[in-house]
A and B are shown apart, each in its own frame.
Chain A
Amino acid sequence: MQISEIILSSLLALIIGIFFLGLARKIMARIHWRYGPPITQPVIDIIRMFSQKGISHGSIFNFGLIFSLTGSFVVILFLPFGKMCPLSSGGLLVILYLMLLAPLGIALSSGEAANPNSSIGVSRKFLLALGYEVPLLLILLAVMTHYHTISLIEIVRIQANTGWSFGSLPLVLSGIAYFLILPAILGIRPFEISGAAQEISSGPKVEFGGKFLAFSTIQHALHEFIGISLFVNLFLGGWDLFGILEPISNTVWGIILGIIIFLIKMVIIFVIEIFINAVFPRFRIEQAMKYLWKWPTLLSFIGLLIVVLFN
């Protein structure tokens, strides 16, 4: 049972992540008043990349990419997917640790490639990670303190009984702060600093070609899935939709409908993020750090204070 859950959730995450990439390109095209590519375009791209002959730059180059891909898959196993959660021990603390594996692997891989653009991209990626990790830590602390648990499944279950934490008074500031740092976690446009194509030739990906680029694209898709599904689980109640699944909550249909509700919430959040991506220009790295350490950190800190005082 658990093995089938592991396979199913990682496969679904892969499909949803790649679907998100296609959806992003289509919506961006419609915003530009273009027709846009077919929604399956990332799949075609990935097939093409796998059939091209990539050039490896050494064993660390291969290892780092596999490391980041594995890190992303492992994080997905710890995230509740609707009602399905293959691994649950450790909860939010494990997720917080494992979320750093993906940029670390990409950094190892790009460092081996010895291209100046990729080293600039990696340093920017880590600076950005440093920028959003501080508010993210405060947000997770506030959530964990409010619900008296570190387990993400438990947090989702309590939200199904007492209402979404985005709507509850003590956690609303933390929710807003998470929404403000979400573009930085996804690496999209106000914070598309590390992968800036026009500025540093797409940053850490600059030496990836062929199957390496395909793996890096898949890793990017998984990373988008992780960032959004963490937000939906923490603040939008996971599979819960105002208690309509209450009568059938333990049947198979309840589980399937829970997954569908979860995915609809993710798509809504993702489309809002794409709108932000479409209208904003790119920050410089120091502007991004100034922003991330000012408003989201302030909001999440006040949110933490409110949670501590309320309890």
Chain B
Amino acid sequence: MDRNKICKWLKNPGKMAHKYSFHVVYFCTGCGIIEIPPFITARWDAERFGIIPVATPRQASLFLITGYVSTKTLKAIIRTYEQMPEPKYTVALGSCPINGGMYYDSYNTITSLDKYIPVDGYIAGCMPRPEAIFIGVTHLWKLIDMDKADGYQRYREDYVHYRANQEQLYGKMDWPPLFSEENI
């Protein structure tokens, strides 16, 4: 640990701890989930970066969406995202969540994930290799340092907009809004 880091730790321990301890919920959609087991096990060892998988969204701080998002799984993604405690970060893998990828004209697949939940960063590729996930994580560190990984704040501020997009897709949704007028 260099001296620079110690100053940062003393200045803002919460932010530094957010950088170096990601508890991750992997959402197994599509082909990206195949890249995750080598990423967390002995071949590439994500734990040396402080990244470990957890079983429930309540304990998590990073949400990895690994691949295309169909209309049906988007519902589960929204619920999982809303259950995570703030601050929370979302990273989407592959080209499918960016613009649909090879499913760009599918009737059943979301073309742009960012319309429904805020995404802090994309890792492009079809599929990105495990090294690319490490590069994505180090970019996320930089974003957290510059306070630019503010997806959870955007979700809070523009909740009406996001909820409208979700309701446009599903009609009436069977759970109440996360933020009402007074706690935004």
Contact = CB atoms under 8 A, between A and B. Distances in A.
Contacts of A47: 13-14, 17, 21
B47 interface: yes
Contacts of B21: 41, 44-45, 47-48
A37 B48 contact: yes
A104 B150 CA distance: 39
Contacts of A53: 85-87
A29 B85 contact: no
Contacts of A52: 61, 85-87
Nearest to B48: A35
Contact of B47 (A29, A206, A207): A29
Contact of B45 (A29, A45, A117): A29
Contacts of A197: 54-55
Contacts of B84: 209
Nearest to B22: A48
B42 A201 contact: no
Given A45-B21, A48-B18, A35 B45 contact: yes
A198 B55 contact: yes
Contacts of B86: 52-53
Given A37-B50, A44-B16, 14 more contacts: A29-B45, A33-B42, A34-B42, A50-B14, A51-B13, A51-B14, A53-B86, A54-B85, A198-B55, A202-B56, A202-B59, A207-B56, A207-B58, A209-B58
Interface in B23-65: 23, 41-42, 45, 47-50, 54-56, 58-59, 61
A206 B56 contact: yes
Contacts of A29: 45, 47-48
B164 to A, nearest CB: 25
Contacts of B61: 48, 52
23 contacts: A34-B45, A36-B48, A37-B47, A37-B49, A37-B50, A38-B50, A44-B17, A44-B50, A45-B21, A48-B17, A51-B13, A51-B17, A54-B85, A55-B58, A197-B54, A197-B55, A201-B56, A202-B56, A206-B58, A207-B56, A207-B58, A208-B58, A209-B85
A8 B50 CA distance: 30
Instruction: Give the interface size class of chain A.
Output: 20 to 34
A49 to B, nearest CB: 8
Contacts of A34: 41-42, 45, 47-48
Q: Which 7 A-B pairs have the closest CB atoms?
A: A51-B14, A209-B58, A47-B17, A48-B17, A201-B55, A34-B45, A209-B85
Interface of A: 25, 29, 32-38, 41, 44-45, 47-48, 50-55, 117, 197-198, 201-202, 205-210, 213
A36 B45 contact: yes
Given A48-B21, A48-B61, A53-B85, A36 B47 contact: yes
Contacts of B85: 52-55, 209-210
Contacts of B104: none
A201 B56 CA distance: 6
A202 B54 contact: yes
A209 B48 contact: no
B20 interface: yes
